[in-house]
Structure 1
Amino acid sequence: MIPETTTPQTKPETPAIAAPEALIAANEAASESKPVRAASGKKAKRQVPTGRAYIQATYNNTIVTFTDPQGNVIGQASAGRTGFRGPKKSTPYAAGMIVRQAATKAHEYGLREVSVFVKGFGSGREAAIRAINANGINVLSIKDVSPLPHNGCRPKKPRRI
């Protein structure tokens, strides 16, 4: 058998204490990179006074999205997420409830004025625009951005009832 050799254990050297000026400079640099926090420790929400509202009203569903002027989403709701199922999703009443839910999220960001962009021909189209105004958000303009074909694809055959 080979005898075991032991090496003496050496303690690691303790680092020298840094100068107080270096500690203060490092502390200031670290505090500049941290995000601004609210009193409760949560990150403060940015304020967006004006933005855009996108309403997509199809025959089966209605989707409302509030964004800032750059297009970053600040509040979104749809009929299915609000709790409506089946044919109730495309009703004007559902559109009003959708806007109320999305507007509460947008109010947290301080949204007060929106330009509305409407897409589609569903029944919740008019009701959603009225509900935006009723929920304390001022409508600056309304623009229809529905895609219309310039004699593109052949349409579906009409239903025979």
Structure 2
Amino acid sequence: MEKYKMFIYKEESANDLPLPHYKTDGAAGMDLYAAVEKEGLTLKPGERILVPTGIKIQLESELEAQIRPRSGLAVNYGITLLNSPGTIDSDYRGEIKVIVINHGSEEFKIERGMRIAQLIVSKVIKPNIEIVEDEKELEKSVRGKGGFGHTGEKN
């Protein structure tokens, strides 16, 4: 398996929080922790908020990081992420923040150190782009121009 490096800088505001890490050998994502103030944040139903994680990363140029929701927060509380998955490009050096929304019916408290999202690192493939002058130069497919729901599959 090819190994890549990810460098992490932890801001002073997150000194007491764990670094992102894989919980098991089979885990695809690393947890990100909420670097909110001690009193936390309360998210009302329908409300969205930007939650800091207190970390900055550097990825090798052929990588990207994706920010994804945590399934437990989604199923138990209706808490998920907007702009999901969020993309962190290899040349971004700012603090990672996640856009959290409350789709639940109750207020939700985001506490300091809470596992708020997952960070997935993936390889980016950048194809050579070739322009065609006529759409007939694109190979035909079974689906063709059919859009959303075009396959007719119910499940």
Larger strand proportion of the pair = 2
Report which of the two structures shows the higher radius of gyration computed on alpha carbons. Answer: 1
Normalising by structure 1, we get a TM-score of: 0.25
Structure showing the higher helix proportion among its residues? 1
> Structure 2 length as normaliser, TM-score?
0.25
